[in-house]
Amino acid sequence: MPVIKYPRVRDPLFYEWDRKAQKCGLRHTIYAVNGDQYTGEWLDNLKHGKGTQIWKNTGAIYSGDWKFGKRDGYGSYSIPDPVTKEYKRVYTGWWENDRRGGRGVFFYPNGECYEGEWSNGLRSGWGKMQYKDGSVYEGQWLVDQPSGQGVLRLANGNRYEGGWKDGKKHGPGKYFYLDKGQKLEGIWVADIPKCGVLVDFGRDNAPAPTQHPLPEIELHDPAGVLAEAQAMFDDSHN
């Protein structure tokens, strides 16, 4: 009986071309249609692993971890200086789902710097902000604003310790006027002290003390006065 040989079924040629086009593992530089370029690792045709991306329009560069096509993990983002063309670091730290997430350091164009925690690209958690006027805030953040407990140290040495809300002093706190040798302890609402007790504090070592010390006023229960003010504050914000 003669043997009948059937032709071997082969996939269409475009199937083979498609398999070759799929990017997986370490690849050389890949250029996008818009001119962006990426060099690094891939998985299932997505940037995944270690890699470097350069955006053509801005010249910005990111080097670090990727996960399924998005910046995720640890990485550094830099942009070129418009005058010198030298790269200036903008952010170094952790990323989640293509946004700053976790702990990292951000350098602002005006010279300010934030080091701390991030969530969804915003300052959230515990962090330290150095402002261009020389003041420093260290404490809790929420949705890119000081919120919770924190300390603000001014360039002249004065400082505030206490509550914050939406970037303003809010709640019980202490303000140390070290230049004058005084301390105000009380309750703040939207950056304004509503009530409190002002006393001399380190007046002998103050660089610019007041001409006369504060008169002593006897309060039978100064702690009770502040506690009562705190209770009124809590009631009005519940």
> What is the per-residue pLDDT across 183-223, written as a single tens digit (0 to 9) for each?
999 999 999 999 999 998 888 787 777 777 777 665 555 55
Architecture of domain 22-97: Single Sheet (2.20)
CATH topology of domain 108-214: 2.20.110
Terminal CA-CA length for the chain: 96
Torsion 14-18-21-25 (CA) sign: negative
Phi, psi of 214 (to 5 degrees): -70, 140
pLDDT at 225 over 50: yes
Instruction: Select the more confidently predicted residue: 129 or 200.
Output: 129
Residue 160: CB partners within 8 Å, gap ≥ 6? 151, 152, 169, 173, 174, 175, 176
Phi, psi of 236 (to 5 degrees): -75, -10
User: Is-contact 126 116, C-beta < 8 A?
Assistant: yes
pLDDT at 175 over 70: yes
Lowest-pLDDT range, 67-71, 187-191, 203-207, 226-230? 226-230
> For strand 182-189 and strand 113-119, is the pairing parallel, antiparallel, or unpaired?
unpaired
- Same CATH topology for 22-97 and 108-214? yes
Nearest to 50 by CA among 35, 58, 59, 62: 62
- The pLDDT tens digits for 83-127 are 898 999 999 999 999 999 999 999 999 999 999 999 999 999 999
Q: Write down the domain spans for the chain.
A: 22-97, 108-214
Residue 200: CB partners within 8 Å, gap ≥ 6? 181, 182, 183, 213, 214
Tokens linked to 65: 């971890």
Report the run of H or E that residue 226 belongs to, with start and end.
helix 222-236
